[in-house]
Structure 1
């Protein structure tokens, strides 16, 4: 049976199941009557069967995802599962977050390239011709960064009004989340805003990184950024991925209205941003308590950074592959 005929035959049943499910999951739920409950069970079982058929016949990804969501919704309504906050949080980070990154790999790699490619190219340009740096970054900003990573400093990084690492932990969280949220929100400008923010952050990081090499601050600068960079830079790229997901829904809504497409895309993007928030908190913790420390030699920090990058890569490549209803 062709997909078009399949959808035409069963669409009314799927719509009815969704209507009954919404009736019991809304803010003020309305209990189903005996007849409606029996109808719901029948429709739920039929939809599960339709999902299996759609997968077997290799129908479109859009249809199989829609039927999968309907089946999960029906299962939740049927068994009235009450999932606590910590269970939801655990499921997000152990299953959904890495699954969504693999699912949205195109947007993720576009965002990653938009961040790293300008950093590499501008960094090479500054390394070969140092004055190029000032075509993008003002001298005051450059001087501030030089003072933060001057080798004779006892504390590496931002100036501290307090020596309390917890105060800096809060500062880093605020700073990181601000960048991440701006990158995500830029997606509402048809994705262009996210790309622009990623591009300029890449220029900033690449230019300043090359400048630190030119003035001989390699050890202090790179030993500071290498540790938390695995979480922070990846999280910023994922923020861009979430923003591009929204932007693409506005540009190419498919068979849906732009509003409906945006709502559908936001369900994925919001979960990505929850994951980004967790990564940025980890990055801020590392930055406050490890990166700024002068108790360990640079080579130790480099090896720790290799371990942290390995953890991040393995997490997104392997975690969550055995979850019910996964890819």
Structure 2
């Protein structure tokens, strides 16, 4: 095929489509012409893409097809309603629907974490395999507390936010395989258990809990939610339930998991602010822990209270109709 001749022959149609796509108002005949030209341009794009390596031509024709599609379907006005619906219905409904999974993960993890702290504090020789006595003493007396004030607050908040969001995302994304979720969760519990064991053994338990609890209550809960929902996704292909295939069950659970991932990103942002501004602040320990406890209780009330109300209204947390793909004419 002579590509240059092909492009030259259809250049007039493309120019006409560009003119019509830019007009705010079209007559009925012009609207019909726009649809026809859009269909033809979509076909032309497919032909050119299969015969031409020219990125400029492909980009230009792609933009023209997109403009034609937008002119046909009409642009959507910017609205905060989907965002409001997400935080008042979709996200809390998913938290409520998955509560048995992440609450179980939370209870088991907290018990395991307590056992690890007790074991390491009662067996300092085990910790000695990783660090000598001087290193443990420096960690307990200086390094642990200095960690929270080493960087500027805004930078530290961004750093812990992205780090924790990545952990939660890894739990959700690897949930289909199940074992990686258990590995990620176990790795974090082991690190925290060892840190707590060192602090307790060196008689700095008050410092440890005074610095961990203000942000850790919410932060760890978000990780437990990510792990629980990830395991629920993985369980979908093991036990899909009646009247649906494994693929259907997995797709439905994965869509819910993506909603949870978005919501956890925002929630972990709050935890990051607590860790950067409240944890290292000069406020009394009781007040700092109290702030963290109030925020954690608010999240639990949101997940179980607001989520339960949304669930009873029939909210499933699945894709809303307005988020579905709008069919458009194609060639």
Instruction: Sort the TM-score into its range (normalised by shorter chain).
Output: 0.5 to 0.7
1:150 paired to 2:144? no
* Contact 2:233–2:257 (Cα < 8 Å) also in 1: yes
User: Where do 5+ consecutive residues of structure 1 fail to align?
Assistant: 1-81
* Distance in 2 separating the partners of 1:88 and 1:147: 50
1:183 paired to 2:177? no
1:139 paired to 2:127? no
After superposition, give the CA deviation of every residue in 1:153-202 in whole Å (9 maximum; x if it has no partner).
79632573x4x21111111112111211222223121x222122222322
How far is the alpha carbon of 1:226 from its aligned partner?
0.8
* Contact 2:161–2:269 (Cα < 8 Å) also in 1: yes
* Contact 1:114–1:198 (Cα < 8 Å) also in 2: no
1:116 paired to 2:110? yes
Q: Which residue of 2 aligns with 1:219?
A: 206
How far is the alpha carbon of 1:92 from its aligned partner?
2.0
How far is the alpha carbon of 1:322 from its aligned partner?
4.0
Q: Which residue of 1 aligns with 2:303?
A: 316
Normalised to the residue count of structure 1, the TM-score between the two structures is 0.64
* Contact 2:91–2:260 (Cα < 8 Å) also in 1: yes
How far is the alpha carbon of 1:320 from its aligned partner?
4.0
Q: Which residue of 1 aligns with 2:283?
A: 296
The structure 2 residue matched to 1:96, chosen from 79, 82, 90, is 90
1:172 paired to 2:164? no
How far is the alpha carbon of 1:278 from its aligned partner?
1.1
Normalised to the residue count of structure 2, the TM-score between the two structures is 0.63
Distance 1:134-1:83 versus aligned 2 partners, 3 A rule? farther
Distance 1:197-1:107 versus aligned 2 partners, 3 A rule? same
Corresponding pairs, count: 238
How far is the alpha carbon of 1:214 from its aligned partner?
1.4
* Distance in 2 separating the partners of 1:84 and 1:147: 54
How far is the alpha carbon of 1:84 from its aligned partner?
5.2
Q: How does 1:255-274 map to 2 (within 5 A)?
A: 255-274=243-262
Q: CA RMSD in A?
A: 2.9
User: Where do 5+ consecutive residues of structure 2 fail to align?
Assistant: 1-75, 317-331
Which deviates more, 252-261 or 240-249? 252-261
Q: Which residue of 2 aligns with 1:275?
A: 263
Distance 1:148-1:279 versus aligned 2 partners, 3 A rule? farther
1:240 paired to 2:231? no
Distance 1:88-1:148 versus aligned 2 partners, 3 A rule? farther
After superposition, give the CA deviation of every residue in 1:252-292 in whole Å (9 maximum; x if it has no partner).
23443333222111111111111111111111111111112
After superposition, give the CA deviation of every residue in 1:222-260 in whole Å (9 maximum; x if it has no partner).
222111112211110111122112101121234433332
Rg larger in 1 or in 2?
A: 2
The structure 1 residue matched to 2:216, chosen from 229, 250, 256, is 229
